[in-house]
Structure 1
Amino acid sequence: MKWFTKRRGLAWQFGGLLVMSGILCGIFFAVMHLSIEEFLFQQINSPEFQEQATEKRITEFQTYVTVNQLSTSDGAELAQWVRKNPLLLMEIYRSNVLIFTSSAPENQAVLANDTEAPYYEWMSYYVVEFADGNADVLLYSDDGYRYSTIATIFELMLCTLLFLGIFLHGCQKIVRYIQLISKEILAMESGDLDNAITVKGSNELSTLAQGLDSMRQAFRAQQEREAQFFAANQALISEMSHDLRTPLTSLLIYTEVLRYGKYENQEQLLEYLDKIDSKAQQIKQLSENILEYSLQSKETVPELETPAPIEMVFEEPLSEMITELSRHGFMCDVEPFGEPMLIAVRGQYIRRIMDNILSNIQKYADKKQPVRIWPLESELTARLIFENTVADVSSGSSGTQIGVKSIGSLMEKMGGSCQIENTDGKYRIALDFPKVEVEKLKEESTEPGG
């Protein structure tokens, strides 16, 4: 019965189920009816069965006559017995003269006829004792029709039950599918969004199941987005806390220098005041942009500044880094920049990146070995490399890596990348910036409105 379940409507399925049930029941009825009719024909038409059935009726008739003391002339009472035995014809003869027939019990012309009827030896005559004497009784009965009618009623009842059984069995498949969908909906309501809703067939139920599964996928995607957003916010808070800590440390150092008068002259005092102001402005800018960054995804591309040579971009940040490293007892080996390499960056991101690199060097670098800084040019990128020797390698202290993650995130926002290597006691951070070709820059500057 799979052929009708592949259709597209429940109404068609139920209709097909009814038709299929009817066809199967019709075939079953035809086979069973023919088989039973053949069996009844062979059994009822046998001489033994006919003789036994007739003798049984004669015995019943004799009892009826004796109890009621009937004579052959009591036609009404005799006809009444015949009516209690349908499909029966009875004739009564005396001296071969017909004196009663159940086909015309009130017909006086027939009963007054004294003509002798022929005697057929192949017919069975039974002697019945009446109140007015003995008489010969002849019975004709259609037992085949009677038993066939009973068998047909039984067959129809059985086929009706079979029809209902087939139809309910087909409906049970649909009911089981509805129960399965209901169970899966309850699981989805309890928070299980990983297991798909079962989609079977191509009817209204399968359409409903497909819609529920699409809703489940949408809920799961929303949950994943919310989880990613929460994780991104947590990472943002960690990165911002880390980025704020470095300029705050520098600010505290400069204020401590001023508090204890550790400056040589007025010019150096003004220089420290400028640095304090710069760090304070950096902290202010970071705090103002926290909300902005929390609403942006990592894929958001920020607006970059006008392309400039890499030595100009890093001139001030490198100078501050070298000064801070020198104050903390680090030696620096800085290689000069070669040919001008134009890069487009965002100054605020560069300051945050340099603060993170400075913080990592101060925490993990060996002061006995110089910190190396050198540029490296390739066909597509301008690279700036920072390398230091790791202090106390055996301790295995690697920190939380928040600063490194922040550097990678900021480089990605500017279209660049960050490469980290930590081998043989050497820790290297390489910043790769996409190069801006000079010819392309000139073409953009000559365009109308450029």
Structure 2
Amino acid sequence: MVSVNKKDSIYFQLLKLLTFSAIIAVTFFLLMNRNSDDFIARYYEESDYAEKRDERYVDKFQAFIDANEISSKDTAKLKAWVKEQKVITLRVYVDDKKIFDSEYPDQNLWDKDIESDEYDWEAYYTIEFSDRNARIGIVGWYEYQLYYCAFVVELVVSFMLFAVIVLLGIRKKMKYISKLSDEIAILEGGSLDYKITIKGKDELAALAEGMENMRISFCNMIEQEAEITSENNRIITEMSHDLRTPVTSMMLYTEILKKGSYKNEQQLLECLDKIDRKAHRMKQLTDHLFEYALISGEKEIELEKPESIEILFYDLLSETCSYLNQKGFEVDVDVNWSDRKVSVYTEYIVRILDNISSNIVKYADSRYKIVISSVNTENMLGFRFENREVSLEEKTDSSGVGLQSIKNMMKKMNGKCRITHENDIFAVELYFPYIS
């Protein structure tokens, strides 16, 4: 599972994206602002923009006077018009006396007899009022208007740049989410071999890995179920064949007995003995089949707490050796006891050793030793049971259902069973994973 650190989480990625976008947008805004200010200042100084704007306002002012027949003393109307224009100041002069100043709109300058002063920054024009001609001085704050418009444009463009960067960053995640959605749809369609894409270390990557692990587990489960089904079919087919043989023989012998086709009492006893052996054979086959079905039907087992392999197996192996000695077998034990611990299910271990002992008694040649030794791999350890097979006219467990039961029990304990059969040497190896 992908571990999600705080710095790799979607929350912090979004925070970093917003911070980065803000830095880019602010830097772009400052560069635009400085360049636009320089451009406006240079343009304002080198062009006749201000003069043209002054002339436009003068024409507009004259049109206002003509339309409303404004006299030079209608200061209230002059004040209202200048206030409406917002970007200019206006002074009116009559006979070299200042009679109106928009910077002091509430003062009556007619009675103050203020001399006219001309300033370099003002432009002067002649206006015709309804009662007389006058000279006006006009100053426009057009440069600040340009600065304000440029500021608004810069602010809007910078915000749009910020939004675009954020959306592009989010779009990358959205594409990944869309890809995961498409891949889930593929899995829903039954294509379980399709691998989920895992990108990054955030919550989405953890989610994708979880789905991938779930896909793998599901595939493994389907594969295991298919193997179990195939193995069950094989076992059933072979067991049916193995059961048919003794049943056929029993029917033959019972037919002989029913018809009285035996010559003497000795032949009668031989028929009964053969029927008895066939019946025992059928019982053994059905017992193995029942055990196999019982183990296969157990979904889960709870392993016992880890214990050293010597404590777990010493007594059980001793009992196995004693049982084989009673059956006329010589047992050579070459086990190197390890202090490593394993976790097992004791009931299964007892069944496994019983099956192995039963197979040895049925198939092993008593003229040769039974060898029990240690085996181990990089992370597993266990035992090897080796014997030399005797030639039998017929095998009681030819279907191998007993050995398959051993494999199933070892698998449920997270171990494995390895069976080898070379020439006349038959060996069963049991491996248990040790607990570090």
Assess same fold via TM > 0.5: yes
Give CA deviations for 1:328-355 in whole Å, capped at 9, x if unaligned: xxxxxxxxxxxxxxxx75269847x9xx
Task: Please tell me the residue identity of whatever aligns with 2:426.
Answer: F
Count of residues in Structure 1 that have an aligned counterpart in Structure 2? 349
Partner of 2:350: none
Aligned to 1:27: 27
State the partner residue of 1:203. Answer: 202
SS at match of 2:85: coil
Say if 1:408 and 1:417, in contact at 8 Å, map to a contact too.
Answer: no
Give matches, 1:172-321, under 5 Å: 172-258=171-257, 263-296=262-295, 306-307=324-325
CA contact (8 A) 2:6 2:12 kept: no
What SS class does the counterpart of residue 116 from structure 2 fall into? Answer: coil
**1:86 and 2:104 correspond:** no
1:272-310 CA-to-partner distances (Å, cap 9, x unmatched) read: 22111111221133224322122346xxxx997615568
| 1:113 Cα deviation after fit | 3.7
TM-score by length of 2: 0.68
CA-based RMSD: 3.9
Residues 32-71 of structure 1 mapped to structure 2, 5 A cutoff: 32-71=32-71
SS in 1 for 2:223: helix
Q: Distance in 1 between matches of 2:132 and 2:419?
A: 133
Shift in Å at residue 255 of structure 1? 3.7
Q: Could you tell me how far 1:100 is from its partner in structure 2?
A: 1.6
CA distance in 2, matches of 1:257, 1:44: 131
Shift of 1:107: 1.6
Unaligned runs of 5+ in 1: 312-343, 354-374, 388-402, 420-429, 436-450
State the distance in 1 between where 2:227 and 2:140 align. Answer: 92
Cα distance in 2 for residues equivalent to 1:404 and 1:283: 12
Matching residue within 417, 421, 425 for 1:432: 425
Q: Corresponding residue for 2:388?
A: 382
Distance 1:383 1:284, change over 3 A: closer
CA distance in 2 between partners of 1:131 and 1:252 (Å): 143
Distance (Å, rounded) in 2 between the aligned partners of 1:411 and 1:93: 119
* Cα drift, residue 121 of structure 1: 7.5
Alpha-carbon distance, 1:122 to partner:
8.0
Describe the shift of the 1:434–1:124 C-alpha distance in structure 2 as closer, same or farther (beyond 3 A): closer
Q: Which amino acid aligns with 2:425?
A: D
Write the distance in 1 (CA, Å) between the matches of 2:38 and 2:170.
Answer: 36
Distance 1:411 1:8, change over 3 A: closer
Deviation at 1:130, TM superposition (A): 1.4
Q: Distance in 2 between matches of 1:434 and 1:223?
A: 31
**Structure 2 CA distance, aligned partners of 1:125 and 1:350?**
130
Answer 1 or 2: higher relative contact order, Cα 8 Å, separation at least 6.
2
The match for 2:299 is none
Corresponding residue number in structure 1 for 2:75: 75
- Larger Rg, first or second structure (1 or 2): 1
Task: State the Cα distance separating 1:139 from its structure 2 match.
Answer: 0.5
* 1:418 aligned residue (415, 418, 421): 421
Please name the residue that 2:8 is paired with: 8
CA contact (8 A) 1:62 1:129 kept: yes
Map residues 359-398 of structure 1 onto 2, 5 A cutoff: 382-384=388-390
Normalising by structure 1, we get a TM-score of: 0.66
Residue identity matched to 1:45:
E
Listed one character per residue, the Cα deviations across residues 367-412 of structure 1 (whole Å, up to 9, x for unaligned) are: xxxxxxxx9999975355699xxxxxxxxxxxxxxx9774995899
For 1:153, give the aligned amino acid.
Answer: V
Counterpart CA distance in 2 for 1:155 and 1:63 is 36
Identity %: 33
Deviates more, 1:22-31 or 1:181-190: 181-190
* CA distance 1:431–1:294, shift in 2 (3 Å): farther
Q: Does 1:103 align with 2:103?
A: yes
Bigger shift: 38-47 or 83-92?
Answer: 38-47
Unaligned runs of 5+ in 2: 297-316, 331-355, 372-385, 408-416, 429-436
1:153-192 deviation digits (Å, cap 9, x = unpaired): 2222232333223223322222333333333334334443
* 1:348–1:257 distance in 2 versus 1, CA, 3 Å: farther
Return the offset for 1:52. 1.0
Q: Aligned partners of 1:179, 1:159: CA distance in 2, in Å?
A: 30
Question: Which AA in structure 1 matches 2:324?
Answer: T
- Write out aligned runs for 1:114-129 (5 A): 114-119=113-118, 124-129=123-128
Q: Show the counterpart of 1:346.
A: 358
- Please give the alpha-carbon distance, in whole angstroms, between the structure 1 residues aligned to 2:121 and 2:8: 68
Kept after mapping to 1: 8 A contact 2:246/2:281:
yes
Q: Distance in 1 between matches of 2:389 and 2:72?
A: 136
